[in-house]
Structure 1
Amino acid sequence: MTTRETRPGSTGGADVPGPLHGGPDDDYTPEQLAAISREDLDRLGAAYDGVQILHVDPGPEPGSAVERRAVRQVGLTFALAGLAAFAFIVIYVGSGWFLPDWHWEITEGGWSALFTPMLGALMGLSLVLVGVGLVLYTKKLLPHETAVQDKHDGSHFDRVTTGATLVGGLHNSGLARRKLITRSLVFMGGGLGLMLIMPLGGLIRNPNTGDPLGTTNWGPGVRLVRDDGTPIRPGDQQPGSLETVFPAVPGGNRQADAATMLIRLRPEQVAVNRPREGQDDFGYGDYVAYSKICTHAGCPVSLYEQETSRILCPCHQSQFDVTQGAKPVFGPATRALPELPITVDDEGYFVARDDYPEAVGPTYWNRERI
């Protein structure tokens, strides 16, 4: 007795000589089936499957004006879907995920305010156009037939004839000769695939590389400058005054996490000044510099009451005492404002001795309370 392999993916016994058993397999040998054309196999399989064709619409005549117009419509729709997908990619790249030197300018209005809506709109438009293109292709270019079929168990004969039917469907789709649609499908598929996988980049790329949340652009020798870029010398401020300063680097006054308060203490404040442990030399003379970012929710703290030596946050009323290392003395904040170590350079201008010794702003998941 001959054993025939019938698991999916096998030949089903087509490579074994002799008669097969099981429905139509009793009527046709593998050799006979191999000699029948695909079209005849398709029709033969339909007949044995109990398929009754009620109506056949062959679709547009190949090469006709109707077909060319439909091909252009479908190709244009798929191409627009691809363009929308690639536009999504360009805007997403513009966020700086792939190109660190290219960032949207964050403003209250303008294009940057539309960043997220544009991503959603372009992704939605691309997916809608894919659906429209598939509907147009099905309606205008594929043959249509109405048939009824009785269901029964499969056999080798069924596998061979079903394969012929599937190949016949691909042939009838006309993709092999409709190059415009094929190319637009490739273009659309590439754009759509990239569009769908790009947001997953956050799962691949470590966003904490280089400790971006724990560092700023302050560093050894970086000058303290005003918003207009002018440097500051000791003596430029009156005792009891506060000046907001930024690092003298390109775009320094646009970097919110680097905003710093340079405060000149009054003599009576200097007498009672108690820096945090290990930060006794962070100030310079009667000057101290603290982060402008509240450690509670990240609001800018810039209301300074020199009579009470307190810096106030206008958002949630946290208060920090500058004569006690800017530790919180009122409100919801629980961490002191980080202090920037400062000195002066050879020209007598204020410079940073280093970056902040701790991350500025609110506490996040992997930072201990300080």
Structure 2
Amino acid sequence: MTTHDSRPGSTGGADTPGPLHGGPDDDYTPEQLATISREDLDRLGARYDGVEILHVEPGPEPGSALEKRAVRQVGLMFGLAGLCAFGFVVVYAGAGWFLPDWQWELGSSSFSVLYTPLLGLLMGLAFTLVGVGLVLYTKKLLPHETAVQDKHDGSHFDRVTTGATLVGGLHNSGLARRKLITGTLAFMGGGLGLMLVAPLGGLIKDPNEGDPLGTTEWAEGVRLVRDDGTPVRPGDQEPGSLETVFPAVPEGNRLTDAATMLIRLRPSQQEAAVPRNGQEDFGYGDYVAYSKICTHAGCPVSLYEQETSRILCPCHQSQFDVTQGAKPIFGPATRSLPQLPITVDDEGFFVARGDYIEAVGPTYWNRERI
């Protein structure tokens, strides 16, 4: 049997052809392993693991024109990926920083049209460029070898030699001397990290600041106007009729949460009317105003049957009685339609006395603000 020197400082025969004898933990103590160089540990572990190198193709020569060109290509990909990632952050969060009054609007021809496509484009480009950069780095800068390996049981020896192999892989990658790539990697990593974290900003900032779900554009003194912007006076409607009105503000007829039904009750309806507690003075004469948004699923309610005093939601057939404070009397809706307090201004036009005192729309948004 051939024996090998296992004294501290030796390679234990790792550089000698032929099979190794015994088990690794029987041949080497932790103290002996600690004295062996990383390169020798790498080779020693490979031999014990039954690794057979079939083919080795070294990477480009350090400092060669081929290496410099490959480094520039990889650095360019990583740098562009970082720029796209930071661009995502600027578009996502920068709209609030540089355009404090900007908000996304459905159907707008302004920045709103480009907002979501830009986010998707920049994120997609960032990850694509990361992938291209990694592929170029692997194909053009790393040495390539083909090897087969037998599975080996874990031991202290295996952990030490595997660590040496991993460190050797980092050394062979050349990252330590390729400053352009390490710099662009850091830049790209910072951009990608911010890009992935930026959407969480919506969880940090309270989305309910200012109670956006519980308020509309209605406010004290805001006129009730028709879809064409004309104001409404008492007497413009026939008894028993309904008209949809909006707040007299810019784009008022496009504010779906502020759409309101102005109803003129018939004398018999007015006599039978039972307003909700605390809302006895919300109407004006024989006029009442209720939200047009169904409290079940948010559909627009607009079918009014004056003979029965019922307002019907066409989506799921919820029905509300205007003589009982728009209380639901049929269908899945369980909450009354919010009532808008109204009066008239000095010129005799209908105005709101304030906003709705409860959130409009589906019941799950309901939050009392009294």
Same fold (TM over 0.5): yes
1:46 aligns with 2:42: yes
Structure 1: distance between partners of 2:143 and 2:209? 55
2:28 to 23, 30, 33: 23
The equivalent of 2:199 in structure 1 is 199
Letter in 2 for 1:277: N
Query: Aligned pair in 2 of structure 1 residues 26, 273: CA closer, same or farther (>3 Å)?
Result: closer
Structure 1 window deviating more from structure 2 (342-351 vs 330-339): it is 342-351
Contact 1:49 1:149 in 2 (8 A): no
The equivalent of 2:342 in structure 1 is 342
Contact 1:94 1:103 in 2 (8 A): no
Tell me by how many angstroms 1:123 deviates. 4.1
The equivalent of 1:332 in structure 2 is 332
SS of equivalent residue, structure 1 residue 351: strand
The equivalent of 1:16 in structure 2 is none
Tell me by how many angstroms 1:289 deviates. 0.9
Deviation readout 1:190-224 (Å, 9 max, x if unpaired):
22112222333344333333332222222222232
Tell me by how many angstroms 1:25 deviates. 6.7
Letter in 2 for 1:49: G
Structure 2: distance between partners of 1:139 and 1:197? 31
Structure 1 window deviating more from structure 2 (272-281 vs 167-176): it is 167-176
Contact 2:213 2:365 in 1 (8 A): no
SS of equivalent residue, structure 1 residue 78: helix
SS of equivalent residue, structure 1 residue 79: helix
1:231 aligns with 2:254: no
Contact 1:59 1:144 in 2 (8 A): yes
**1:308-319 superposed matches below 5 A:** 308-319=308-319
The equivalent of 2:277 in structure 1 is 277
How many residue pairs end up in the alignment? 337
The equivalent of 1:305 in structure 2 is 305
Tell me by how many angstroms 1:283 deviates. 0.7
Tell me by how many angstroms 1:293 deviates. 0.2
Ranges in structure 2 where 5+ consecutive residues have no aligned partner: 1-26
Query: Aligned pair in 2 of structure 1 residues 337, 344: CA closer, same or farther (>3 Å)?
Result: same
Query: Aligned pair in 2 of structure 1 residues 254, 134: CA closer, same or farther (>3 Å)?
Result: same
Structure 2: distance between partners of 1:212 and 1:236? 33
Contact 1:94 1:104 in 2 (8 A): no
The Cα RMSD (Å) is 3.9
**1:170-209 superposed matches below 5 A:** 170-209=170-209
Query: Aligned pair in 2 of structure 1 residues 343, 144: CA closer, same or farther (>3 Å)?
Result: same
Structure 1: distance between partners of 2:282 and 2:42? 88
Letter in 1 for 2:258: A
Letter in 2 for 1:43: E
Letter in 2 for 1:213: L
Deviation readout 1:4-57 (Å, 9 max, x if unpaired):
xxxxxxxxxxxxxxxxxx837766997xx7xxxxxxx33333344355766543
Structure 2: distance between partners of 1:200 and 1:79? 24
1:75 aligns with 2:70: no
Structure 1 window deviating more from structure 2 (292-301 vs 321-330): it is 321-330
Tell me by how many angstroms 1:334 deviates. 2.0
SS of equivalent residue, structure 1 residue 213: coil
Structure 1: distance between partners of 2:200 and 2:178? 34
Contact 2:343 2:353 in 1 (8 A): yes
The equivalent of 1:354 in structure 2 is 354
Contact 2:39 2:164 in 1 (8 A): no
Query: Aligned pair in 2 of structure 1 residues 94, 360: CA closer, same or farther (>3 Å)?
Result: farther
Tell me by how many angstroms 1:141 deviates. 1.0
SS of equivalent residue, structure 1 residue 364: helix
Structure 2: distance between partners of 1:27 and 1:214? 73
The equivalent of 1:216 in structure 2 is 216
Query: Aligned pair in 2 of structure 1 residues 26, 100: CA closer, same or farther (>3 Å)?
Result: closer
Query: Aligned pair in 2 of structure 1 residues 56, 242: CA closer, same or farther (>3 Å)?
Result: same
The equivalent of 2:58 in structure 1 is 58
Contact 1:70 1:140 in 2 (8 A): yes
- In percent, how many aligned pairs have the same letter? 75
